[in-house]
Amino acid sequence: MTPIAVGGLGIAVLLAALFVRVPIGVALGVVSIGGIWILRGPTAAFGSLGTLPYEFSASWVLSALPMFLLMGAFAYHLKLTDGLYSAARVWFGNLPGGLAIASNFACATFAAASGSSVATTAAMGRLAIPEMLRIGYDKGLATGVVAAAGTLGALIPPSVAFVIYGWYAEVAVDKLLISGILPGLLTAGVYAAMIVIRVRADPTLAPAPRLQEPLREKIRLLADVWPLPVLIASVVGSIYSGAATATEAAAVGALAALLVGLMRARQGVSATASAVRAAIAESLRTTSSIFFIIIGAVLFTRFLALTGVPGFLAATFNAAELGPLALVLVLVAVYVLLGMFLDPIGVMMLTLPILIPVCKQTGMDLIWIGVLVVKLVEVGMLTPPVGLHCFVVKSIVGDQVPLNTIFRGVSWFLMAEVLILALLVAFPAISLTLPRMME
Amino acid sequence: MLVERLPAALRGLSRACLVVAGVAIAAMMLHVGADIAGKALFGRSLGGTIEMVSGWYMPACVFLPLVAVQQHRGQLIVEFATQTLGPRKRALLDGLAAALGCAYVGAMVYTGAHEAWTQTAIGERTNSSVFDFPVWPTRWFPVLGGAGMAAWLALQSLSDLAFAVTGRVMERPDETLERL
């Protein structure tokens, strides 16, 4: 059997293992060790397993990952995110579809602080969806906006997905984080515009809530949430200005979230201590489970490199003279397909070992590709049949809204995503302008 | 019986590992924060920050919580293709997957222990000539975290396979721990 055939067989076995409930990290690792054994023998296979997990985990660059997770966990558990929806509601509520637009921007801010799109969907869904349903919003719109806007967290910094991609692709993580700002804002803007257009065309979708809060109350609600945007802006600002690396900014962000949370704590000492402990435990468990998958992916990369599959695919693309655009279209198709079944980290770790060598050999900009990859894996959180965000929303609304209504509501945002993706592909400058200005 | 006592012991290990990892992540945050504050306010770095982060804090944060992750079956899996299966068939797949995972993590522990022993014997230290301190103890973090994870996987595999074969709901090891 040729090495490329072994590589192809390995990929097939990996996919089969995933579909029979083998954990992603285990499947990647077992297939890789088996493949390396076949190609190079047991000494090479177990040699990798003994040294590689420690050596890649003992990483300064990757320490940004637990620090960003800790920042998000502190922001959530110490209730820095609590007033977001109330503030967004009074400021955007009187626009057409105002509560949906408020949910959209509140999700964007929450996601930027927490770095977790699933946590954003769960937290904002509990606040926003019941109110939208109560005043008669279309069920699809009310649920769809929360499910879709949760995905903004992966693009707007700090973003765990960008840290992982940057480390893997050997691209500067600070530039990657900054590259996600404009695509993230573009997404939030297109979502808001789509909501306004739909509600203008059919006002029954979103009855006006008649909010008449005095300006003083509006400012009070805004003042209540000011630390969060300031925290996010200071993290992003320090990276952009070069004052701190992404790793340093992540640690300072976590420390600042803790200090601000402690200063504003309205609960007792014991409850605050519990919240701090819960935040630390949550970020540690998430860190460890993500790294377990990455260890498998690193082994998988080594296995694929031995097979020559990435080089073979790159040569095939070059020989076919398809050009970068065709490669990007293939990328979109593959990610949308895998995103229907797998979670974002899993999709990234399965595909990057093949994608990055191909992109390097074809001379594509890895920052631009990173933005597209992160965008696409988050779109996968909305697409049926798995569409994790839709199931999170379903768990909140219970029997009030059928699952197919949620997917129908999300379909409008997926159509918006087609436009956003087309813009990101057609105009790489949207992704690359800010990182280039850092140079 | 070992199988009866093991969950309680593993729960203790899981908690102890989380405490140590918690100290490490908090120390990492404070250490890097103090380093940046030192640079900004006094124009001086604390020194050894990168070495401490990569040599001590990160291995603790990555490997020690593995025990807690597996205690709560916190690994990511693809559920889509098996959602329509009955509970016994799903338990059969889960049991086999856990056995495979146990073998994989067990191999990682075995080879990692060999490497840790080698580094312990030579007293591995940081590569830096300026900030020179030992890092060999952290070579044992993957061994400790992995061993706890493998033990959970073994217990969960037994529990799932027993349910798949007999149809009787046994006390699942992780749920047993939740009650204790």
Q: ipTM value of the model? A: 0.92
Q: Which stretches of chain A score pLDDT less than 70?
A: 114-116, 209-211, 386
Closest by Cβ to A284, choosing from B61, B77, B139 = B61
Q: CB-based contact (8 Å) between B79 and chain A?
A: yes
| Amino acid identity, position A402 | P
Give the residue among A50, A29, A44, A39 at the shortest CA–CA distance from A301.
Answer: A29
DSSP string of A67-111, one letter each residue: HHHHHHHHHHHTTTTTTHHHHHHHHHTTSTTHHHHHHHHHHHHHH
- C-alpha distances (whole Å) from A41 to each of A34, A44, A295 are 9, 6, 20
User: pTM, whole model, 2 decimals?
Assistant: 0.84
Q: What is the pLDDT of residues A195-251, one digit of tens each?
A: 999 999 999 998 876 667 787 887 887 777 777 777 877 788 888 777 788 888 889
Q: Please give the structure tokens belonging to residue B54.
A: 């990569």
| Closest CA of chain B from A413, distance in Å | 23
CB A167 within 8 A of CB A61: yes
Range of the domain at A330: 62-266+308-437
- Contact: B22, A281; criterion CB under 8 Å: yes
pLDDT given for residue A94 in this prediction:
79
pLDDT given for residue B64 in this prediction:
97
Q: Which residues of B touch A285 (CB under 8 A)?
A: 65, 68-69, 72, 74
What whole-number distance in Å separates Cα of residue A124 and Cα of residue A106?
Answer: 8
What whole-number distance in Å separates Cα of residue B76 and Cα of residue A18?
Answer: 10
| Closest CA of chain A from B40, distance in Å | 9
Report if residue A94 sits inside a domain. Answer: yes
Report if residue A14 sits inside a domain. Answer: no
DSSP code of B125? Answer: B
What whole-number distance in Å separates Cα of residue A1 and Cα of residue A119?
Answer: 46
One digit per residue, the tens of pLDDT, for chain B of length 180 reads 666 778 899 999 999 999 999 999 999 999 999 998 888 888 888 878 999 999 999 999 999 999 999 999 988 787 777 878 888 999 999 999 999 999 999 999 999 999 999 999 999 988 776 778 899 999 999 999 999 999 999 999 999 999 999 887 665 555 544 433
Report if residue A285 sits inside a domain. Answer: no
- C-alpha distances (whole Å) from A156 to each of A117, A375, B85 are 11, 11, 38
Report if residue A31 sits inside a domain. Answer: no
Report if residue A291 sits inside a domain. Answer: no
Report if residue A247 sits inside a domain. Answer: yes
Give the residue among A410, A431, A371 at the shortest CA–CA distance from A121.
Answer: A410
| Closest CA of chain A from B151, distance in Å | 15
Report if residue A186 sits inside a domain. Answer: yes
Q: Which residues of A touch B25 (CB under 8 A)?
A: 66, 70, 280, 283-284, 287
pLDDT given for residue B129 in this prediction:
65
What whole-number distance in Å separates Cα of residue A431 and Cα of residue A13?
Answer: 36
pLDDT given for residue A154 in this prediction:
83
pLDDT given for residue B137 in this prediction:
95
| Closest CA of chain B from A385, distance in Å | 8
Q: CB-based contact (8 Å) between B69 and chain A?
A: yes
CB < 8 Å from A in window 91-120 of B:
93-94, 96-97, 100-101, 103-105, 107-108, 111-112, 114-115
Reduced to 3 DSSP states, what percent helix, strand and coil does chain B have, rounded to the nearest 5? 75, 0, 20
Q: CB-based contact (8 Å) between B34 and chain A?
A: no
Residue A153 sits at φ, ψ, to 5 deg, of: -60, -30
Signed CA dihedral, B133, B134, B139, B140: sign only: negative
Which of B58, B84, B96 has the most A C-beta neighbours within 10 Å, making it the best mutation to test the interface with A? B58
pLDDT given for residue B177 in this prediction:
41
Structural domains counted in chain A: 1
DSSP string of A258-296, one letter each residue: HHHHHHT--S-HHHHHHHHHHHHHHHHHHHHHHHHHHHH
Report if residue A49 sits inside a domain. Answer: no
DSSP code of B134? Answer: B
Identify any residues that bridge with B133 across adjacent strands, giving them in sequence order.
none
Closest by Cβ to A291, choosing from B62, B90, B112 = B62
